[in-house]
Copies of this chain bind each other. A is one copy, B any other.
Amino acid sequence: MSVTNAPSPWRLRAEERLTDAGYRRGGARTALLDLLAAQGCARTALEMEDELRAQQRPVGRASIYRVLDELEQLRLVQRIEVGQGIARYERLAPDHHHHHLACAECGELVPFTDDALEQAIARLSAKAGFEVTGHDVVLHGRCPACARR
């Protein structure tokens, strides 16, 4: 049985952009692209290392950081920080844009989207003196499970 689904638009774009930028194909990079394409919400580099090892596709830690860094430069992934000083990464795609609710107690991360928010940010980005290339919003609080305790 095959575990490979048809490559997602993000996955295809990633492959293309990497080639255009002069990168070669490598095992570590491919494994990470597969993981990122399938993953639902932002993960840490160390979580990815564990997942890849669990999938019998172990990738060196340094390679994970290096590849994530390249992908960030090429705007294929977004790096976010939700408060514990640990970087998290998720793919950057028009159909995947969202923000996060972060539980301060258990660390749970819940994605959400909101048009009014995006509009406010778009307006702001246009009038800011900066050349704005991205943004992120984090709502901090307690998830229902932790609030009940």
The copy count of this chain in the complex is 2
Q: Let me know if B83 and A101 touch, CB within 8 A.
A: no
Q: How many residues of A contact B (CB 8 A)?
A: 39
A117 within 8 A of B: yes
Docked pose: A128 CA to B114 CA in angstroms: 11
A42 within 8 A of B: no
Q: Let me know if A128 and B101 touch, CB within 8 A.
A: yes
Q: Which of A2-10, A22-30, A51-59, A139-147 contacts B (4 or more CB under 8 A)?
A: A139-147
Q: Let me know if A140 and B131 touch, CB within 8 A.
A: no
A65 to chain B, nearest CB (A): 12
Chain B residues near A21 (CB, 8 Å)? none
Q: Let me know if B144 and A130 touch, CB within 8 A.
A: yes
Name, among A83, A103, A123, the residue most crowded by chain B CB atoms within 10 Å (CB to CB): A83
Q: What are the interface flags for A104-132 relative to B under an 8 Å C-beta threshold, 1 for contact and 0 otherwise?
A: 10000010101011011101110011111
